[in-house]
């Protein structure tokens, strides 16, 4: 058996055990730490621990179970040592100016901004719909279809000055309508 040969000091038996279990231990530890940069070191350290304690291996159990347990425990020890210091968000924090409470914003909470934008859009649509037809048409063409004054004049067969006057008058009416609506709130 390879374990017996390794116990008696056979370096080739050590290497065969490493070759046999190294890949499996790598992926086992990777599941625990999820950081490929340190997995190789943890595998190597687990083998070193295992071979230092090879005399305590109980032959009633599979060698793979024993070495997996060593690798798992070593990885857990590593994670405990590397655990980031934490700070309670419920307890006051002692600062040089005294105690302070932590206030964290909820990044996932939706704001009223979406509701406000929808309300404004509806108010603007309502205001445009309240315009007389000749004004409503030029406002839609200018601001919704983004047509130039010249394109609107050509499309409607109107003089350029008339189109400009209609848009100016429509904006005045929209402004008045919206001011009246805001006062009503």
**19 occurs within a structural domain:** yes
Same domain, 65 and 24: yes
**117 occurs within a structural domain:** yes
**96 occurs within a structural domain:** no
Position 172 scores a pLDDT of 92
> If the chain, 185 residues long, is cut into consecutive pieces of 10 residues, what is the mean pLDDT of each piece?
80 90 93 88 92 85 90 90 63 71 61 78 87 91 88 92 93 87 73
Position 27 scores a pLDDT of 92
Position 109 scores a pLDDT of 58
Domain that holds residue 43: 2-82
Q: Which residue, of 41, 61, 82, is where some domain finishes?
A: 82
Helices (H), 34-82: 36-52, 63-82
Q: Which residue, of 34, 65, 82, is where some domain finishes?
A: 82
How would you label 99-134 residue by residue, b for 16+ Cβ within 10 Å and e otherwise?
eeeeeeeeeeeeeeeeeeeeeeeeeeeebbeebeee
**91 occurs within a structural domain:** no
């Amino acid at each position: 058996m390879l374990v017996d040969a390794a116990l008696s000091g056979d370096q080739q038996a050590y290497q065969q055990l490493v070759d046999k279990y190294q890949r499996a231990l790598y992926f086992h530890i990777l599941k625990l730490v999820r950081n490929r940069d340190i997995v190789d070191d943890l595998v190597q350290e687990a083998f070193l621990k295992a071979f230092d304690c090879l005399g305590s291996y109980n032959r009633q159990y599979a060698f793979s179970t024993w070495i997996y347990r060593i690798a798992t425990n070593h990885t857990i020890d590593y994670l405990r040592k590397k655990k980031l210091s934490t700070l309670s968000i419920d307890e006051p924090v002692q600062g040089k100016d005294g105690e302070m409470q932590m206030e964290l914003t909820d990044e996932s909470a939706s704001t009223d901004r979406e509701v406000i934008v929808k309300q404004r859009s509806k108010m603007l649509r309502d205001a445009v719909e309240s315009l007389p037809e000749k004004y409503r048409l030029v406002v839609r063409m200018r601001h919704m279809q983004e047509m130039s004054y010249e394109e609107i004049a050509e499309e409607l067969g109107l003089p350029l000055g008339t189109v400009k006057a209609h848009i100016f008058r429509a904006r005045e009416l929209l402004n008045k309508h919206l001011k009246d609506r805001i006062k009503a709130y």
